[in-house]
Structure 1
Amino acid sequence: MATTSIHVTALDGLVNVNSLFTIAVFVGLSLTTPGQHSLENRTECDADISVAKKLLVFEVVSFSFFLFSSLVAQGLKLAINLINSKDADEAFRARVNVKVLRFGMLGSAVGSVIGCLFLMLSMVNVIEIRLGMLSCGSRSTMNAVVSMVVLVSCALLVYVSTAVYAFLH
């Protein structure tokens, strides 16, 4: 058993980030409509209905993982703040089972990472619908996709590395 308030703060941060990503999911959905022409102005560069379908699937799966992650984090916060607290004045210093807490936080972090990967895939579809298909060779599409994949991958690498380090120590 351990006593800590830093876990509640970390869980709050995770829920807040998941909320921002969830907003991005709905923004991605609102920016695309079937039959939309790309800004490339070549009909062969326009995305077909299968790209819009993949976008919808990736957005729903992404949302599901963010919701999973947030609900696990909120459940852990509930356990820390309400169930395990003996004194209402010490809600942030509840005695918790460290193994359960670490497992729950790891599950929540994994849900966020997988949600980010599906969000990135959906954003590739948004880019293809708006700027033109990658197979078309559009420079704008290629620059946008490569920039996003590199930056998001680096950020996820940092996040996963620090989460694993925290989990092991």
Structure 2
Amino acid sequence: MGDKPPTKFHTSIHIAALDGIVHVNSLFTLAVFVGLAWDPSDPNNRLVEDPLCAAGNDVAADLITFHVFSFSSFLFSSLVALGLKQALRMVQTTHLHVFTLDMAHVNKTALRVGYLVSAAGSVSGCLFLMMALVDVVQIKLGTLSCGSSLSYGAIVPLMVLVPCGLSIYVCFVLHAFAC
């Protein structure tokens, strides 16, 4: 990774970071599957009191669409991270032509681009999952156009906290990219 050969310490940091991406994406993917298992058309799952505020089929269709987009993004991000991890682990060293699991010569630019691509997949997956959760709230508590305080009370923290968390994540990814 540059002019100097990588140390065991630096390579293990990269592998640990990639493991973290894969583990977090796995948790979010589980959330997506739980969301897909829920039947939005079941009237017993709704808490809407006014039938005029009940979400229509278009919101339920958006819910499924956002779940699929989210799953695709998390899977893409995990596959890129796993590919990078394999690249770090499966590089043949020049010493006695043996494989090492500790150190690898990897193009630093390619590694950085891989991290950015993987992070972009995770961020887009989070955004799609957030939009799916907005649709879940509209189906269960009523559409936003009705002005339900319950709906807004659930959606506002979601729309504030998730982008704040993603902003922090993106800052750390960009910092790691610059190092």
SS at match of 1:93: coil
Point out the structure with max Rg over C-alpha: 2
Q: Which of 17, 23, 37 is the matching residue for 1:30? A: 37
Q: Deviation of residue 32 (structure 1)? A: 3.4
The equivalent residue for 1:44 is: 52
Residues 1:156 and 2:156 are matched in the alignment: no
Q: 1:161 to 1:113 in 2, by over 3 A?
A: same
Corresponding pairs, count? 167
Q: Deviation of residue 35 (structure 1)? A: 5.3
Residues 1:104 and 2:130 are matched in the alignment: no
Residues 1:5 and 2:15 are matched in the alignment: no
Q: Distance in 2 between matches of 1:52 and 1:107?
A: 30
Structure number with higher helix proportion: 1
Q: Deviation of residue 80 (structure 1)? A: 0.9
The equivalent residue for 1:121 is: 131
Q: Deviation of residue 30 (structure 1)? A: 2.1
Residues 1:21 and 2:28 are matched in the alignment: yes
The equivalent residue for 1:147 is: 157
Moved more, 92-101 or 16-25: 92-101
Gaps of 5+ in 2: none
Q: Which of 76, 81, 94 is the matching residue for 2:89? A: 81
Task: With the length of structure 1 as denominator, give the TM-score of the two structures.
Answer: 0.93
Q: Contact 1:32/1:130 (CA < 8 Å) preserved in 2?
A: no
* Root mean square deviation, CA, Å: 1.4
Q: Distance in 2 between matches of 1:44 and 1:12?
A: 47
Q: Distance in 2 between matches of 1:65 and 1:163?
A: 17
Q: 1:85 to 1:131 in 2, by over 3 A?
A: farther
Residues 1:71 and 2:79 are matched in the alignment: yes
